[in-house]
A and B are shown apart, each in its own frame.
Chain A
């Protein structure tokens, strides 16, 4: 080992350490931003080291370096402009697009590692196996993530898209991908085989995500994030680069943990989400929209809600998917600010999967200048409900369904917010339509609950106007 190689190794070690330290700093809001900058510092070191090392060790062709520079500029301009302008409600789509490009880049790197050697000899297994896995995983991630982003953005219907014989087509495409992959490993080096696998994998990514419902899309984004990490790690094995292996493994772990936590918070297994997409059908979606208990529903006007809120001492707001979908985060913050100014204690009770991805609701509220201290996580919120005068549920349904406490239904055992422990409950909802789980919510027919049927954005604005009138009068 030369002194130069020693320095390169040390710098890679430093960058990997900075990634870990950066992620570690993300465990508290006060240090998280610094953590991201530390991680970015690790990135700069890793990339600059690789540039210097590659120039010294391999040199290469100037046209290739021009191609790299041109590509990087195009990519950087696209990435930065998207990152600067994206609305906070659309963050899940952007994360999905970055998964796609990351997976695609990893696949391209592996593809090049397979195609570029000038000899026709079979590659060593330590190269060909990670290369094939990388092309497979990277391509599935690329096409699958783009479909997931399109579903979240509403370009493609959020409903599961299926067609007759989908299961058979899926199996055939998967078999083609695996067979050509195995052939690419065991036969003499043959680019055509890898191209067949690339195309089959791209098709597989589309086929895998298309049938998954829009509500499951965030779980899929998280899973594909883990896949991207794996693809990058495989690229690291293929070109023997430890920075890629370590960073890829870290992301793989992050994606896997989030996927499992999300699935648990939605009371589903990851397998049932993916296989549900593979043609077995989401039986519960749309089922059981019976309205037998409608007579027991107490419907409120915005004035009723305003008086109830203004007279309360402790109010807990339960924001749900409907609030994010209606982009009403600013309206809810305005109402809360008004109530706080009137002397009411207002806090937010946030379910782990409220919004469109884990922690998304916290981001939306932070964007509306809601202080971090006002956001209560599940356990703290449930302790606070016992002492709460009014629970204001906005566009949330399954996450506060008391049926989760009793066995024998689809939400049994799901962690919920105990909104029914509050002295009174107000629910802002567009209709009595069941939530994602497709079952009725006894909270809505509870005698202490009042329903205010409105779109979250308009409903909150109306309530705020009523409170203003009431307070000034």
Chain B
């Protein structure tokens, strides 16, 4: 009985990994860094984490969880409530339908895939904000953020992979 309990707890902890990694990514992306303009173009760490886990372990990151994460992000970051949920859920949906395509492909394909998904997410946010403000907004921060995200993509993904191999295989 006791063994069963601890085993289950252990398994639960391991299964929580994608979720906790995404939460950490969310908090990390809010850290103030004294770089000029950094807060405008913070790399989308949450999206990177989502991208990795949805492709490799979609069973451990459910759509409702993703939605809730988006809401938490909006609440803490002071962004319009629902925007992050929407962009994350759309990314989730896109990934889950294209998952087979990405599985087993080379890293470069994943990289290109992330570039596509993240520009999509950026565009969704831009459109929502432009609609709520009823005017065209400067799209340059979105583009810079996208480039930065794509450029940094390999590093967090490498870390996710290490974590994945260490705890979930």
Same complex origin of A and B: no
